């Protein structure tokens, strides 16, 4: 196959990332098997800015390749930077370009329509997290994947990072015995992009749970193996899911926000031969649960809060620090970096070249949405234990009653937190 032809939709915050190896743009010029043909954003300012940075990032990579003696790729990169086309209209991009893949990094509300439109045109899709606003929307996307026979990758970048890759390696080795529990607090002070859309559940589907914990849901499931089955969910005492500080500066002004800024919940996964409880926090009001990310096993544990290393604690309490990039041990692999953005793009490009499915496919994305939905429902029902089946039945009943409005109704019902606690 010739190069995988990619179009990008949405040129905001995560197009650039937050430095280090985060973001989609820094990964593109390193995808030797692909070519970014087109960039699309409704905002002319964002398009112009992206065009400027696209050229700069490609030129920097071209210079690196030249320094390494790879003159052919350097030339190719400069040609790609010159030929990239800009679109304000997504449909026009899909009509005009002969794309193999669209990279969807727009606000969450657009994930479903953009994904379905691309798949129905026979174009493969990678879609940012969360997969959609609701499980119902994710299921519609999954149907479109089936109908099209195309590859869909749910873009959970964690699982393509060096740390999660190595954590799974250790877990599978059995070094800590059976995993009994995983604790993963993910908390920051505010959403990553300080845009109103993050605080608007009608656009984002929810608040900090869908922004932060959604990473934790999929990534801990990955650790346990995607053949594990998420079974039941419970909003956890004492803080559950809700709004801690409703007056936030959004778009330059204090406003009363409607989305949750803290979420604490338990998920039970049935493994092929046992079960594991996962405790997740996803907050935009700083962490207020357990201090460290840890996997607790029957004969040891792995602490993994630090960005560069994990600490293995054996059954005698001995602590061994293991750097993720220890030379000659956990071999350095250039496509596995700390944030996983290059890894996820390389993975979907390879799937397209080899015509194989991604492990992080529509089933994983949609089921992750069901777990999130069950957590909201648990909070709504007074922190009752909710099985995934119960949540799905509840959502399907709303769908039957409300038709096309079902997701909006579901979001409204599940995100009524009634102000600060």
Ligand X SMILES: NC(=O)c1ccc[n+]([C@@H]2O[C@H](COP(=O)([O-])OP(=O)(O)OC[C@H]3O[C@@H](n4cnc5c(N)ncnc54)[C@H](O)[C@@H]3O)[C@@H](O)[C@H]2O)c1
Q: With 0-12 CB in 10 A as exposed, 13-18 as middle and 19+ as buried, what is 357?
A: middle
Is residue 277 classed as helix, strand or coil in its secondary structure? strand
Distances from the Cα of 266 to the Cα of 173, 233, 239, 284, angstroms: 25, 6, 12, 18
For ligand X, the nearest residue by Cβ is 12
Instruction: For the CB of residue 163, give the shortest distance to ligand X in the complex, in Å.
Output: 14
What is the largest distance, in Å, between two alpha-carbon atoms of the chain?
Answer: 63
- Asked if 366 and 141 touch (Cβ cutoff 8 Å), the reply is yes
Return the number of the residue (178 or 359) whose C-beta is nearest ligand X.
359
Return the number of the residue (74 or 167) whose C-beta is nearest ligand X.
167
Looking at the chain, how many residues does it have?
A: 421
Instruction: For the CB of residue 17, give the shortest distance to ligand X in the complex, in Å.
Output: 8
Instruction: For the CB of residue 11, give the shortest distance to ligand X in the complex, in Å.
Output: 5
Return the number of the residue (66 or 190) whose C-beta is nearest ligand X.
190
Instruction: For the CB of residue 67, give the shortest distance to ligand X in the complex, in Å.
Output: 30
Return the number of the residue (39 or 81) whose C-beta is nearest ligand X.
39
Instruction: For the CB of residue 385, give the shortest distance to ligand X in the complex, in Å.
Output: 28
Return the number of the residue (193 or 396) whose C-beta is nearest ligand X.
193
The set of residues, in sequence order, having a beta carbon less than 8 Å from that of 293 and lying 6+ positions away, is: 183, 184, 185, 303, 304, 305
153 bridge partner residues: 126
Task: Count Cβ neighbours within 10 Å for each residue of 315-351 and write b for 16 or more, e otherwise.
Answer: eeeeeeeeebbeeeebeeeebbbebbbbbbbbbbbbb
Return the number of the residue (128 or 379) whose C-beta is nearest ligand X.
128
Return the number of the residue (76 or 344) whose C-beta is nearest ligand X.
344
Q: Residues in the site for ligand X, rule: CB under 6 A?
A: 9-15, 40-43, 46, 90, 105-108, 110, 128-129, 157, 192-193, 195, 197, 211
Return the number of the residue (11 or 267) whose C-beta is nearest ligand X.
11
Instruction: For the CB of residue 332, give the shortest distance to ligand X in the complex, in Å.
Output: 23
Instruction: For the CB of residue 78, give the shortest distance to ligand X in the complex, in Å.
Output: 26
Instruction: For the CB of residue 217, give the shortest distance to ligand X in the complex, in Å.
Output: 13
Task: Count Cβ neighbours within 10 Å for each residue of 271-302 and write b for 16 or more, e otherwise.
Answer: eeeeebbbbbbbbbbeeebeeebbbbbeebbb
Task: Count Cβ neighbours within 10 Å for each residue of 36-60 and write b for 16 or more, e otherwise.
Answer: bbbbbbeeeebbebbbeebeebbee
């Amino acid at each position: 196959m010739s190069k995988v032809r990619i179009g990008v939709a949405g040129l905001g915050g995560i197009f650039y990332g937050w430095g280090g190896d985060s973001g989609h743009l820094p990964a593109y010029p390193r995808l030797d098997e692909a070519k970014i043909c087109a960039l699309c954003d409704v905002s002319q300012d964002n398009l112009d800015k992206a065009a400027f940075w696209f050229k700069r990032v490609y030129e920097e990579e071209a210079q690196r390749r030249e320094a390494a003696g790879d003159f052919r790729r350097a030339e190719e990169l400069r040609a790609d930077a010159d030929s990239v086309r800009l679109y304000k209209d997504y449909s026009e991009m899909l009509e005009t370009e002969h794309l193999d893949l669209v990279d969807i990094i727009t606000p969450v509300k657009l994930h479903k329509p953009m994904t379905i439109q691309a798949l129905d045109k026979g174009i493969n899709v990678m879609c940012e997290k969360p997969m959609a606003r609701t499980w119902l929307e994710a299921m519609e996307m999954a149907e479109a994947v089936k109908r099209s026979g195309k590859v869909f990758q749910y873009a959970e970048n964690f699982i393509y990072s060096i740390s999660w890759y190595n954590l799974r390696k250790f877990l599978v080795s059995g070094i800590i015995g059976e995993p009994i529990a995983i604790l993963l607090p993910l908390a920051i002070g505010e959403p990553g992009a300080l845009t109103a859309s993050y605080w608007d559940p009608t656009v984002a589907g929810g608040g900090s749970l869908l922004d932060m914990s959604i990473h934790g849901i999929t990534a801990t499931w990955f650790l346990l193996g995607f053949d594990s089955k998420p079974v039941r969910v419970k909003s956890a005492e004492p803080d559950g899911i809700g709004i801690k500080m409703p007056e936030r500066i959004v778009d330059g002004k204090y406003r009363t926000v409607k989305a949750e800024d803290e979420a604490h919940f338990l998920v039970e996964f049935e493994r092929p031969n046992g079960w594991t409880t996962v405790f997740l926090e996803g907050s935009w009001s700083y962490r207020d649960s357990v201090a460290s990310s840890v996997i607790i096993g029957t004969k040891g544990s792995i602490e993994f809060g630090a960005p560069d290393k994990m600490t293995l604690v054996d059954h005698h309490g001995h602590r061994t620090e293991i750097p993720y990039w220890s030379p000659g041990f956990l071999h350095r692999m250039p496509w596995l970096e700390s944030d996983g953005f290059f890894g996820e793009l390389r993975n979907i490009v390879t799937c397209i070249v080899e015509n194989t499915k991604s492990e992080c496919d529509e089933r994983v994305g949609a089921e992750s949405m069901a777990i999130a939905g069950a957590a909201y429902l648990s909070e709504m029902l007074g922190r009752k234990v909710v099985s995934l089946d119960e949540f799905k039945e509840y959502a399907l009943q709303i769908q039957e009653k409300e038709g096309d409005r079902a997701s909006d109704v579901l979001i409204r019902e599940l995100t009524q937190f009634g102000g600060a606690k």
